[in-house]
A and B are shown apart, each in its own frame.
Chain A
Amino acid sequence: MSKVSEGRGAWFLKHAYLWAMLALIFLPFYVMLVVSFKDNTQFYNRTWAPTWPLHWGNWLEAWDTVGVYIANSVFLAVTATLITLVAAVLASYVFGRYRVPFGDLFWAGLIVLMLMPGVANLIPLFNLMKRLTLLNSLLGLSVVTAAGGQVFCLYVLRNFIEDMPKEFFECARIDGASHLQQVIHVVIPQCGGIISALAIMQFVGAWNSFILPLITIRDTELLPLAVGLYRLQGAYVKQWGPLMAAYFISAVPLVILFAFTMRFFIRGISEGAIKG
């Protein structure tokens, strides 16, 4: 790292800048927390400062409404991430190590798909899901989400596997490992960092997915989080306190996820970026 002599002024400026930015970035947390304890009178009188008494009931009320959305989103994100990564790891092992017939054609097609605006094929996709009776079903939604995640994961993972030393695979093969065993015992341990970073990105992506669930899920009790919250804020009479409590609660699952995986995530992004 740069060990550069720095003046006190420079030191102060750098830290002041970072803290100012952090304050702005963390502002939504403050807003959610402060407003979540207000009833509507307190809200309209003093919106931005804490007020007493605190209305803890808002949180219970919020949990009653968003609890089911969170459960749906957890299911959606977990299944979609699993399907995406299992399929992508297997396929990128093949594409990274072998030249299969039509492989290059398939690959070129993938790159083109990345540029395709989602809406252009949203309507045909909707029709297809209707015919396969995947509409209004969380599992159907997660399969389609997993398909959408394939492109990016394949792209990243294939590059990683291609750059792995051939000797790893040769040794495994001499020991009599099948292809599947090579994936499990060579690829997964070696690419663990990037696989977990991809998993987190897929999870967060599915957690935030909005347009697809908006058009495919009808029943209120099946709505994932983003659409559920969108509908909630569209309600005519707004109860701001419970609404903000609901927003706050909906961040909790990701807090738990990041608490355990932050380290992999930061490292994975850095590794991935070096590959470019």
Chain B
Amino acid sequence: MARERVRFSQIKRYWPLYAMVVPTLVLVGLFMYWPAVSGVWHSFYRWDGDEVATYTGLQNYGRAFTDPKFGYAFVVVGILFVASLFKMIPSIVTAVVIHRITSDKARYLYRLLFVVPMVIPWMVVLLIWKFFYNPIVGLLNSVLNTTHLMDVLVWANAWLVKAGIVDSAAFVANKSPAWLGDPDLVLPALIFWGFPWIGIIGVLIYLSGLEKIPRSVYECAELDGVGWFRKFLYIELPLIATQVRINLVLMIIGVLKGYGLILVLLGDDGGPAGRGLVPGLYMYYNAFIRREAGYACAMGILLFFLILALTVINNKLVRVEK
């Protein structure tokens, strides 16, 4: 629908329209634009986050580029990002499996059941995972011990040390590994977190894409004797490609911006030896713990440009042909 043009000179006739935008303008202008502008402005200052601010030019940016911790934070976020790509798979698989259930009733029931865990607050999920990771009473260690997977891990770890691939042993016989306390285990713990990695919103979005596949397509495939995997590859995957891309964009932004998870699981300094430090958390740490708000703002601007670049690249590269 073509939108009607309203000129500024017609304000007398159209004033209710302007009035209707005011609440949003005030909210967004005051609480989002203004802090953003102020953040850009302060990134050129040495600022304690309060009153004292001295102009230092590009010093904050120069410092960010040479700060080894900031660089390391990007390595961590890169690893987490690659892991998240794989962690998208279970949602897609689950959506396809639900879609292929033939009974309408069962399909609806499964959909409903998968939505139910959404009622658990995010914080509770995190704290329960923290509890799973607990070295003494945690579920993960008891599962590993009862299934003797722990012995396999100990053996594999010893072999890797002997082969010279890793230099320290995280798994030692008869010792409970501290998943969130051992520097070598922090990253695996952050990756494993949330197993089996089914995001219900993602599943629902994929399902709505899958439901548009006409029945005839399946019948043709059936006649041609197409196997289940090729059906997935040639029928289902192309149809949810758009949705996968949307989720991918959201995930990139989420992974790069997010740090609440790590703040809760590991604390504000990124856990043992700072192994879990991500850019967002490092910014938070600088802003609120070390009181170097100007530096934190500069890092924020750099991160913003990175997210912008990745989103543009994603839109260019991952073109979905209809």
Contact = CB atoms under 8 A, between A and B. Distances in A.
Interface of A: 1-6, 10, 14-15, 17-18, 21-22, 24-26, 28-29, 31-32, 43-44, 47-48, 83, 86-88, 90-91, 93-101, 106, 109-110, 112-128, 143-144, 146-148, 150-151, 154, 162-166, 178-180, 183, 204, 207-208, 210-211, 215, 225-226, 229-230, 233, 247, 250-251, 254-255, 257-258, 262, 265-266, 269-271, 273-274, 276
A38 to B, nearest CB: 11
Nearest to B259: A119
Nearest to A232: B127
A189 to B, nearest CB: 18
B140 to A, nearest CB: 11
Which residue, B35, B50, B264, has most C-beta atoms of chain A within 10 A? B35
Main secondary structure of the interface of B (DSSP, over half): helix
A128 B304 contact: no
A122 B219 CA distance: 55
Contact of A147 (B7, B28, B280): B28
Which residue, B24, B101, B139, B205, has most C-beta atoms of chain A within 10 A? B24
B24 A150 contact: yes
A115 B139 CA distance: 37
B117 interface: yes
B137 A43 contact: yes
Can you list the 7 inter-chain pairs with the closest CB atoms, starting with the nearest? Answer: A120-B300, A121-B35, A147-B31, A270-B208, A124-B38, A91-B24, A124-B35
B253 A115 contact: yes
Contacts of B31: 125, 128, 143-144, 147-148
Interface of B: 1, 3-8, 14, 16-18, 20-21, 23-25, 27-28, 30-36, 38-39, 42, 49-50, 90, 94, 97-102, 104, 107, 110-125, 127-128, 130-131, 137, 139, 142, 195-196, 198, 201, 204-205, 207-209, 211-213, 215, 218-219, 222, 228, 242-243, 246, 253, 256-257, 259-260, 263-264, 279-280, 283-284, 287-288, 293, 296-297, 299-301, 303-304, 307-308, 311
A226 B257 contact: no
B69 to A, nearest CB: 15
A258 B115 contact: yes
A24 B27 contact: no
Contacts of A179: 16-17, 20
Contacts, number: 295
Contact of B21 (A26, A91, A110, A166): A91
Contacts of A99: 3-6
Contact of B28 (A123, A151, A274): A151
B6 A101 contact: yes
Contact of A226 (B122, B243, B284, B311): B122
A78 B236 CA distance: 39
Contacts of A178: 16
A250 B124 CA distance: 8
Nearest to B96: A14
A214 to B, nearest CB: 8
Contact of A91 (B23, B119, B201, B263): B23
A222 B91 CA distance: 37
B28 A110 contact: yes
Contacts of A180: 16, 20
Given A115-B304, A229-B123, A100 B6 contact: yes
A152 to B, nearest CB: 11
Nearest to A204: B118
B287 A119 contact: yes
Contact of A94 (B7, B17, B264): B17
Given A87-B27, A225-B123, A116 B20 contact: no
A266 B259 CA distance: 28
B288 to A, nearest CB: 7
A178 B104 CA distance: 44
B178 to A, nearest CB: 16
B281 to A, nearest CB: 9
B307 A115 contact: yes
Contacts of B30: 128, 147
A22 B203 CA distance: 13
A253 B34 CA distance: 35
Contacts of B195: 24
B121 A251 contact: yes
Nearest to B206: A273
Contacts of A114: 253
A101 B8 contact: yes
Contact of A225 (B36, B121, B137, B219): B121
26 contacts: A1-B102, A3-B218, A4-B219, A17-B97, A21-B94, A22-B110, A24-B195, A31-B128, A32-B128, A48-B142, A113-B32, A116-B304, A117-B280, A120-B36, A120-B39, A122-B284, A123-B49, A123-B293, A123-B297, A125-B35, A127-B50, A229-B124, A247-B127, A250-B121, A250-B124, A274-B212
